[in-house]
C-alpha cells in the first residue's frame, strides 16, 4: 500500500482516503462519493481495529461482510480497497500509541476510556500507510472528528480533514453499522435519539436556553420509549467539548443510548437565535 501511495503521489495524484470498519451503509457511501469528487485516487480501508474496543465490547461480534463491502465500494468507483489483517498492523511487540489529553475525557470517552487512544493510533497508522492528501470522517462520530482534527494540527500531519454529513434513514435514525443489532421491536425505540435532539432544538427555538432543562426534557423523552439505557446526554462547546450551561452561542448536543445490544450515538448542532 505504501508503495502504491508513493507511486500515486509521484505521478501528481491527489489521494483521498475514507477509513472504515466495514459493514458499509449509505453513510459510508456518501463519504466515498464525497471523496470521489475531491481528488484523483480514492482509497477506502476496511479494518475492524481491535485497539479501539475494550474487553467486553463488541469487537468479536462486530458485523462484517467483506464481499458485500467490496461490491459496494467498486460501484462507487474507488481506486483501491485496503483491508489489512490484524497481524500486519499490530505485529508482536507493538507498543507505541497516540493519545490525547483532554478531548477524549468527554462524551463517549467517559464510558469508553480507551476508545479514542485506539482510534488516534490506528488513524495515524493508516495515514502513514495510505499517505492521503485528504481524509474524510463522518460527523455522526462528532467527537472522533474533533479529536482527529486536533491530532492532525498538534502533530503537524499534512492532511486535510473533511467532515461528511450524517446520513439518516427516512424516519431520521442515523445510519450506523450497529443498527444491525436492533431487533424489529427495538428499531422504533432507536428513534428516541433523533427525537430527543429535535425536542432540544424545539425547546431552544421556544426560548429555553438552559442546558440542564433541555437535557432533562430529552432524557425524559428517551426514557418514555422504554428499553433504553442512557449513557450520556451532553450540551457542550463544539470545539472543546466542555459542558455549556447556557446556550448563548452555537452548541453541540450529543448523546449515547443503549437500545438492547446496540450502543447508538447521535448529535446535532444547536444554534440560538
Ligand atoms: O469511524 C470508524 O469507523 C473508525 O473509528 C475508524 C476511523 C475507521 C478507525 O478505526
The three-class DSSP label of residue 218 is: helix
Please tell me the distance from the alpha carbon of residue 13 to that of residue 61, in angstroms, as a whole number.
38
Left (φ > 0), alpha (ψ -120 to 50) or beta: where does 22 sit? left
Tell me the pLDDT tens digit for each residue of 251-273.
Answer: 999 999 999 999 999 999 999 98
The answer to whether 225 is a known catalytic residue is no
**CATH architecture under which domain 2-164 falls:** 3-Layer(aba) Sandwich (3.40)
CATH ID of 177-270, from 1.20.1250.20, 3.30.1300.10, 3.30.750.24, 3.30.470.20? 3.30.1300.10
pLDDT at 273: 83
44 in contact with ligand 1, CB cutoff 6 A: no
Taken in order 8, 9, 14, 19, is the CA torsion positive or negative? positive
Protein residue with least CA distance to atom 2, ligand 1: 20
Contact 190, 172 (CB under 8 A): no
CA of 18 to the centre of ligand 1 (A): 9
Tell me the pLDDT tens digit for each residue of 216-245.
Answer: 999 999 999 888 999 999 999 999 999 999
Q: Which three cell numbers stand for residue 265?
A: 450515538
pLDDT at 104: 98
24 in contact with ligand 1, CB cutoff 6 A: no
pLDDT at 226: 83
176 in contact with ligand 1, CB cutoff 6 A: no
Domains 2-164 and 177-270 share a fold: no
pLDDT at 45: 98
123 in contact with ligand 1, CB cutoff 6 A: yes
Buried b (16+ CB within 10 A) or exposed e, 231-256: bbbbbbebeebeebeebeeebbbbbb
List of the chain residues with pLDDT < 50: none
Instruction: Identify the CA nearest to 135 among candidates 125, 48, 88.
Output: 125
Domain ranges of the chain: 2-164, 177-270
Distances (CA, A) of 185 to 162, 190, 192, 225: 36, 10, 13, 11
Please tell me the distance from the alpha carbon of residue 83 to that of residue 30, in angstroms, as a whole number.
20
The three-class DSSP label of residue 100 is: coil
Amino acid at each position: 500500500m505504501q508503495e502504491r501511495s508513493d507511486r500515486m503521489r509521484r505521478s501528481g495524484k491527489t489521494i483521498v482516503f475514507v477509513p472504515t470498519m466495514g459493514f458499509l451503509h449509505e453513510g459510508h457511501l456518501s463519504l466515498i462519493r464525497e471523496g470521489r469528487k475531491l481528488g484523483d485516487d480514492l482509497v477506502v480501508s476496511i479494518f475492524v481495529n481491535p485497539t479501539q474496543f475494550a474487553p467486553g465490547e463488541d469487537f468479536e461480534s462486530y458485523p462484517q461482510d467483506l464481499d458485500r463491502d467490496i461490491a459496494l465500494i467498486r460501484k462507487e468507483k474507488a481506486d483501491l480497497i485496503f483491508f489489512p489483517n490484524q497481524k500486519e498492523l499490530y505485529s508482536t511487540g507493538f507498543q507505541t500509541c497516540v493519545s490525547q489529553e483532554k478531548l477524549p475525557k468527554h462524551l463517549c470517552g467517559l464510558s469508553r476510556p480507551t476508545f479514542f487512544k485506539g482510534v488516534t493510533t490506528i488513524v495515524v497508522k493508516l495515514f502513514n500507510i495510505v499517505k492521503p492528501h485528504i481524509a474524510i470522517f463522518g460527523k455522526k462520530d462528532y467527537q472522533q472528528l474533533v479529536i482527529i482534527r486536533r491530532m492532525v494540527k498538534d502533530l503537524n500531519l499534512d492532511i486535510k480533514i473533511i467532515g461528511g454529513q450524517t446520513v439518516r434513514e427516512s424516519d431520521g435514525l442515523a445510519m450506523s453499522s450497529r443498527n444491525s443489532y436492533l431487533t424489529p421491536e427495538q428499531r422504533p425505540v432507536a428513534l428516541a435519539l433523533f427525537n430527543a435532539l429535535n425536542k432540544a432544538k424545539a425547546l431552544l427555538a421556544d426560548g429555553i436556553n438552559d442546558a440542564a432543562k433541555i437535557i432533562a426534557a430529552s432524557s425524559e423523552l428517551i426514557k418514555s420509549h422504554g428499553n433504553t439505557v442512557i449513557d450520556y446526554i451532553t450540551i457542550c462547546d463544539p470545539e472543546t467539548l466542555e459542558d455549556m450551561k447556557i446556550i448563548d452561542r452555537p452548541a453541540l448536543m450529543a448523546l449515547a443510548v443503549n437500545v438492547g445490544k446496540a450502543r447508538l450515538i447521535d448529535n446535532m448542532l444547536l444554534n440560538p437565535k
